[in-house]
Amino acid sequence: MWWGLGQGADGAAPPFPVTVFGGLHADVPLDPGMAVALGRLVGTQPIACVVDVSDFGSVGVRRFFMTAFTEALYAFNTQPLHLVLDEADLWAPQRAQLEGQDLLGRVEEIVRRGRVRGFVPWLITQRPAVLHKDVLSQADILVSMKLTSSQDREAVGRWIEGQADRPEGRRILGALPRLAPRRGLGVGARERCAGKGALPAHSHPRQLADTPAGGAGRHAAPARAGGPVRYPGVAGRDGCGRARGVGPLPRLATVMASR
């Protein structure tokens, strides 16, 4: 769905200056060998982008790309950057195989120590039970939609135990299986508060989060922005991917992968 940031809710002019690297909706084709260069680009230039690794095929190639990308991004980034890791359990699984240990270490480093380098990480997963707990434990805010799996609710419950009192935690966990579509519960660690809310009826971008017909899926990855959007050495939409009449986004990076 992240590529939809470059599309209006009605499919008209793009509301945000976002360039898509890779995937079915690519503005710029993506190759596994571009990982370090792209990490440097996102880490040093005020751009908004989505990096889609779905076309790489194998999990091993995606993991190779993400390891090199996150290492370069951590090395070069020094300014505030919102890094959104969608399907975060793919990059930081609870039971990481030997070949996934390096990537898990990179993600954990960003989540634990990235603040001093400007990182504001966001982790999105459908299965909190299989997201590595050393990564999940670093979250300051948790927002959960409907969860029916007892294992996933237990993972959320363990996080809540350290942030809210037990009666409040039990109330939240009891509500998760019954939440209506687009409803969610949020818990803030620092404020030790809980709240309930709903997504807008017409969520942007263009309802692209809905499951495609026939089980089709797609991946998307890093995005970020700020100021006039220019991509040195990279040709984007309209030459530079700029959107008319839209102010700058906060620096943003998103990594997403479908299953």
Global pTM? Answer: 0.75
For the chain, the helix, strand and coil percentages under 3-state DSSP, each to the nearest 5: 40, 15, 45
pLDDT (mean) for 138-142: 88
Residue 124: which CATH number? 3.40.50
pLDDT (mean) for 50-78: 92
The confidence score (pLDDT) of residue 232 equals 33
Confidence of residue 191 (pLDDT cuts 50, 70, 90): low
Confidence of residue 152 (pLDDT cuts 50, 70, 90): very high
pLDDT in tens, 212-250: 444 343 333 333 333 333 333 333 332 222 222 334 445
Rounded to 5°, the CA angle 167-173-179 comes to: 130
The confidence score (pLDDT) of residue 172 equals 85
- Given a cut of 70, whether residue 164 has pLDDT beyond it is no
Phi, psi dihedral angles at 94 (to 5 degrees)? -60, -40
Confidence of residue 129 (pLDDT cuts 50, 70, 90): very high
Number of separate domains in the chain: 1
Tell me which residue range forms the domain holding 145: 2-256
